[in-house]
């Protein structure tokens, strides 16, 4: 199908975009890469009165490190994240995650800000933001607001952003040199929406986790930073410890049913990912025995 | 503001100036306004890859880009890369390997395949499949398409298949 009629404004600055969003509120939609918004408009799932195109605001593009913080502009494309030396050096988890986002032609247009503001529970970057402890920077009529990633995602396609606010950047702490990460998702076809996925970051000392952050996605209405990860920290991980963590994880999950999978299948796959992740990060193949999917 | 917006862009090296409605997507602009019907419209929500074109050198879904967003951009379509001879060898390989039947997906397949070969001159079959993962073909079962791209890569690299 084709999108229904709408008015179009090419924002000339962040201030100009904010003026338009203030005037139109919920009747306006921000267009960045358009890889989620345009399909939704073509399918007539959304029909905004005004599209505010921020595509020419080059000041919102690119990644840079300053004073121990990695800042990524909202308009940075997935393809840019894949190629960026700053991302590879300071947030390698993101590079692995982006390779799973859709297909090359989509990654050439889709942006990090668009993905986060869209907040699809099955998408990769929101979970990565939880795992990496990101801060989301929004600008609105009242100035700038800094929102912790764990307070940003509020439900299916729902975030803490108000209709008058524009997501302008994300800030990430630099990944410590001795840390390690794991990213994997199950999907029917490479690049499809995940059935279940896991973005994990850890530091390991003396064959134990000194820190472990497990960001699951497609396991509920928003990404989940699993509290059950604490059961694996500062202990010698055995099959019994892992199995206890897996049942604690099960209690935290609230998976949705859709045409891809039942809640039971999602619970099973989340536990498979947990076992694979722990086994790989600790280099303990014995922990993964039987965890097949 | 739902009125038409003036855009100026380059399409296959030619300057195009037009007034377009905001809701018009790039695929329909190319097909209906410029009569460049090699770009195909399949699913209209970014899943099938039949509408793949190049914008400023990068492949994109033309059904997921508004024509108004192409102001000042350089667009290349299957007609452009075909007429310039850029993909003549790839097209021959598709013919020789029976990598097309009905041909509906072929323009998008060729655009995606050429994009891969430009970035990675000797891809293995797994890399080829991954790069084409966003392009559907309902006829060939993909084996012949992967064969054609693999053999083009070998020939371009000066290796025998």
Q: Is the distance from CB of A34 to CB of A76 less than 8 angstroms?
A: no
Cα dihedral A92→A93→A94→A96 (10° resolution): 90
CB contact under 8 Å between A34 and B69, yes or no, is: yes
ipTM exceeding 0.85?
yes
Q: Is the distance from CB of A193 to CB of A187 less than 8 angstroms?
A: yes
Residue B44 to residues A2, A45, A193, B91, B136: CA-CA distances in angstroms? 8, 13, 18, 25, 13
Residue A217 to residues A110, A186, B93: CA-CA distances in angstroms? 19, 11, 41
pLDDT mean over A22-39: 97
CB contact under 8 Å between A53 and B2, yes or no, is: no
Share of chain A above pLDDT 90, in %: 95
* Cα separation, B79 vs B77, whole angstroms: 5
Residue B10 carries which DSSP code? Answer: E
Query: Which residues have a Cβ under 8 Å from the Cβ of A2 and sit 6 or more positions away?
Result: A42, B23, B25, B28, B44
How far is C-alpha B122 from the geometric centre of its chain's CA atoms?
A: 20
Strands A143-148 and A158-159, sheet pairing: unpaired
Q: pLDDT 10s digit of each residue in chain B, 161 long?
A: 579 999 999 999 999 999 999 999 999 999 999 999 999 999 999 999 999 999 999 999 999 999 999 999 999 999 999 999 999 999 999 999 999 999 999 999 999 999 999 999 999 999 999 999 999 999 988 999 999 999 999 999 987 65
Interface contact B69, partner A, CB < 8 A = yes
Interface contact A202, partner B, CB < 8 A = no
Residue A292 has pLDDT above 60, yes or no: no
B69 contacts on A by Cβ (under 8 Å): 31, 34, 53, 55
B63 contacts on A by Cβ (under 8 Å): 38, 42
B65 contacts on A by Cβ (under 8 Å): 34, 38, 109
Is the pTM here over 0.90, yes or no? yes
Residue A90 has pLDDT above 60, yes or no: yes
CB contact under 8 Å between A39 and B71, yes or no, is: no
What are φ and ψ of residue A260, in 5° steps? -85, -40
Between chain A and chain B, the number of residue pairs with CB atoms below 8 A apart is 95
CB contact under 8 Å between B2 and A106, yes or no, is: no
What are residue B59's DSSP bridge partners?
A: B54
Left, alpha or beta for A283 (phi > 0: left; psi -120 to 50: alpha)? Answer: left
The shortest C-alpha distance from A1 to chain B (Å) reads 6
The shortest C-alpha distance from A7 to chain B (Å) reads 4
pLDDT tens-digit profile of A95-122?
999 999 999 999 999 999 999 999 999 9
pLDDT of residue B140: 86
Which residues, numbered 10 to 39 in chain B, qualify as contacts with chain A under a Cβ-Cβ cut-off of 8 Å? 21-23, 25, 28
CB contact under 8 Å between B46 and A35, yes or no, is: yes
pLDDT of residue B161: 55
pLDDT of residue A154: 98
A42 contacts on B by Cβ (under 8 Å): 25, 44-45, 63-64
Query: Smallest Cβ distance to A190: which of B2, B5, B133?
Result: B133
Interface contact A61, partner B, CB < 8 A = no
Mean per-residue pLDDT over chain A, rounded: 96
The shortest C-alpha distance from A223 to chain B (Å) reads 24
B45 contacts on A by Cβ (under 8 Å): 39, 42-43
The two structure tokens encoding residue B16: 């195009």
Find, in chain A, the residue whose alpha carbon is nearest to that of B43.
Answer: A1
Cα-Cα-Cα-Cα dihedral sign, residues B34, B37, B40, B41: positive
How far is C-alpha A4 from the geometric centre of its chain's CA atoms?
A: 29
Find, in chain A, the residue whose alpha carbon is nearest to that of B54.
Answer: A105
Find, in chain A, the residue whose alpha carbon is nearest to that of B113.
Answer: A104
Q: Is the distance from CB of A224 to CB of A218 less than 8 angstroms?
A: no
3-state SS, chain A, equals CCCCCCEEEECCCHHHHHHHHHHHHHHEEEECCCCCHHHHHHCCCCCCCEEEECCCCHHHCCEEEECCEEEEECCCEHHHHHHCHHHHHHCHHHHHHHCCCCCHHHHCCCEHHHHHHHCCCCCHHHHHHHHHCCEEEEEECCEEEEEEHHHHEEECCEECCCCCCEEEEEEEECCCCCEEEEEEEECCCCCCCCCEEEEEEEEEECCEEEEEEEEEECCCCCCEECHHHHHHECCCCCHHHHHHHHHHHHHHCCCCCCCCCCHHHHHHHHHHHHHHHHHHHCCCHHHHCCCCC
Interface contact A35, partner B, CB < 8 A = yes
pLDDT mean over A249-254: 96
pLDDT of residue A289: 72
Query: Smallest Cβ distance to B45: which of A39, A50, A190?
Result: A39
* Cα separation, B17 vs B64, whole angstroms: 21
Confidence of residue A189 (pLDDT cuts 50, 70, 90): confident
Residue A293 has pLDDT above 70, yes or no: no
Left, alpha or beta for B8 (phi > 0: left; psi -120 to 50: alpha)? Answer: beta
How far is C-alpha A213 from the geometric centre of its chain's CA atoms?
A: 14
The shortest C-alpha distance from B74 to chain A (Å) reads 15
pLDDT of residue A1: 86
């Amino acid at each position: 199908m084709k999108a229904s009629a709408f008015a179009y404004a090419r924002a000339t600055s962040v201030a100009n975009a904010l003026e338009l969003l203030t005037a139109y509120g919920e009747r306006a939609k921000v267009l960045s890469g358009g890889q989620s918004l345009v399909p939704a408009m073509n399918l007539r799932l959304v029909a905004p009165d005004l599209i505010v195109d921020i595509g020419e605001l080059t000041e919102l593009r690119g990644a840079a490190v300053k004073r121990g913080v990695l800042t990524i502009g909202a308009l940075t494309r997935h393809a840019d994240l894949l190629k960026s030396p700053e991302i590879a050096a300071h947030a390698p988890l993101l590079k692995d995650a982006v390779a799973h986002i859709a297909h090359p032609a989509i990654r050439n247009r889709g942006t990090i800000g668009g993905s986060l503001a869209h907040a699809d529970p099955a998408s990769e970057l929101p979970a990565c933001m939880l795992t990496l402890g990101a801060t989301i920077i929004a600008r609105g009529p009242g100035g700038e607001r800094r929102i912790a990633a764990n307070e940003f995602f509020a439900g299916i396609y729902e975030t803490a952003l108000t209709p008058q606010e524009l997501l302008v950047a994300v800030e990430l702490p630099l990944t410590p040199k001795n840390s390690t990460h794991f990213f994997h998702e199950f999907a029917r076809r490479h690049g499809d929406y995940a059935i279940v996925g896991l973005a994990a970051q850890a530091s390991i000392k003396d064959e134990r986790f000194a820190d472990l952050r497990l960001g699951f996605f497609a396991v509920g209405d928003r990404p989940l930073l699993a509290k059950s990860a604490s059961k694996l920290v500062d202990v010698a991980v055995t099959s019994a410890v892992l199995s206890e963590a897996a049942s604690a994880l099960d209690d935290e999950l609230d998976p949705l049913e859709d045409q891809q999978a039942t809640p039971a299948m999602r619970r099973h796959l989340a536990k498979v990912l947990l076992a694979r992740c722990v086994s790989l990060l600790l280099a303990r193949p014995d922990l993964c025995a039987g965890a097949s999917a | 503001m739902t009125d038409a917006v003036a855009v100026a862009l380059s399409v296959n090296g030619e300057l195009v100036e037009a007034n377009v409605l905001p809701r018009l997507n790039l695929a329909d602009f190319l097909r209906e306004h410029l009569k460049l019907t090699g770009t195909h419209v399949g699913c209209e929500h970014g899943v099938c890859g039949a509408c793949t074109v190049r914008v400023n050198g990068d492949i994109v879904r033309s059904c997921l880009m508004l024509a108004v967003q192409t102001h000042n951009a350089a667009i290349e379509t299957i007609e452009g890369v075909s007429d310039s001879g850029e993909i003549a060898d790839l097209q021959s390989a598709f013919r020789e390997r029976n990598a097309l039947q009905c041909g509906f997906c072929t323009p998008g397949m060729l655009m995606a395949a050429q994009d891969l070969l430009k970035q990675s001159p000797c891809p293995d079959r797994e890399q080829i499949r991954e790069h084409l993962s966003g392009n559907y073909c309902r006829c060939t079962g993909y084996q012949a398409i992967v064969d054609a791209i693999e053999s083009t890569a070998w020939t371009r690299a000066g290796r025998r298949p």
